[in-house]
Amino acid sequence: MASYRIRQYREKDYDAVRTLFARGILEHAPAGYRHILRSARAQLGLLVLFAAVRAAAGYWVLGLAAVALALAATWPVVRSFSTSYVQQALSTDLCDISTSYLRAPDSCFWVAEAGGTVVGMVAVAPPQDPAERGVALELKRMSVSKDYRGRGVSKALCGEVLRFARARGYGAVVLSTSMVQVAAQRLYEGQGFRKVGTFSPSLLGSLLCFQIFHYRCDLPGGTAAPPR
């Protein structure tokens, strides 16, 4: 029997939900940093930097120092992707969760609770993409506490979103997740989602090879446009 329960968000969950979301996003920053450093573009850039400094100064030690400085400077830039995303979410929909998800049409917000503590969360709302509105709903703000991963919490939360969309006659659920959230990608693919697009969040993200994956799950029996 599950050691947690899924229920709708309540106002008393406000601080716990915001903290859980922030921690869940920020913990992926180191993985993003490693991913970027493993990219061919980054490695080529570091090699060119080393060679240029060594040729100009005549000392390989200075070339290594330049590479070390570049690596140190890259970390706060990479982390800024996560921090800016968290700040944007906390100042918009997660600033007033009830208004954003409980009072808005075709929207909802659930938490997973264990022992009186919020250990997971997920939301659903009409998509940002105008082309998807009236056709699909968007799964958003999925996060599960580290201590409760691998216990089926994410799968249960995802199931709530799929059932919610299906019950309202929608034909699909869409979502976006970053390239470094590998466990999340496996979860979504296991629930029937398929990758349908890839984009970079900014020009800087494109230069650093940081990508966002767009997923879609078509719902059996759904209609192109839900009844109103």
pLDDT band for 227, please (50, 70, 90 cuts).
Answer: very low
* CATH number, residue 90: 3.40.630.30
Element (H, E) at 155: helix 153-167
Model confidence pLDDT, tens digit, residues 181-196:
888 899 999 999 999 9
The residues, ordered by sequence, that sit 6+ positions from 205 with a Cβ below 8 Å of its Cβ are 81, 211
Which residue, chain included where needed, has tokens 């767009």? 214
CB within 8 A of 13, min separation 6: which ones? 111, 118
- In which domain, by residue range, is 84 found? 1-227
Q: List CB contacts of 85: < 8 A, sequence separation 6 or more.
A: 25
Length of the chain, please? 228
**What's the CA gap between 98 and 94, in Å, rounded?**
9
Q: What is the CA radius of gyration of the chain?
A: 21
Residue 223: what pLDDT? 58
What pLDDT does 207 receive?
64
- Report the SS3 class of residue 215: strand
Of 133 and 161, the one with more pLDDT = 161
**Which pLDDT value is given to residue 228?**
39
pLDDT tens digits for range 95-140: 999 999 999 999 999 999 999 999 999 999 999 888 888 899 999 9
CA 118 from centre of chain? 19
Q: What is the pLDDT of residue 205?
A: 65
Give me the sheet containing 5-8, strands edge to edge: 5-8, 108-114, 117-125, 136-144, 172-178, 212-218, 194-199
The DSSP call for residue 140 is: E
Show the tokens assigned to 137.
């709903």
| Residue bearing the bigger pLDDT, 199 or 44 | 44
- Ramachandran sector of residue 192 (left: φ over 0; alpha: ψ -120 to 50; beta: rest): left
198 neighbors 171 (Cβ within 8 angstroms): no
Letter for the amino acid at 208? L
Tokens of 26: 């920020």
Q: Which amino acid, one-letter code, is at 122?
A: V
Query: Facing residues of 57 across strands?
Result: none
3-state helix, strand, coil in the chain (%, to 5): 50, 20, 25
Specify the number of domains making up the chain: 1
Percent of the chain with pLDDT over 70: 92
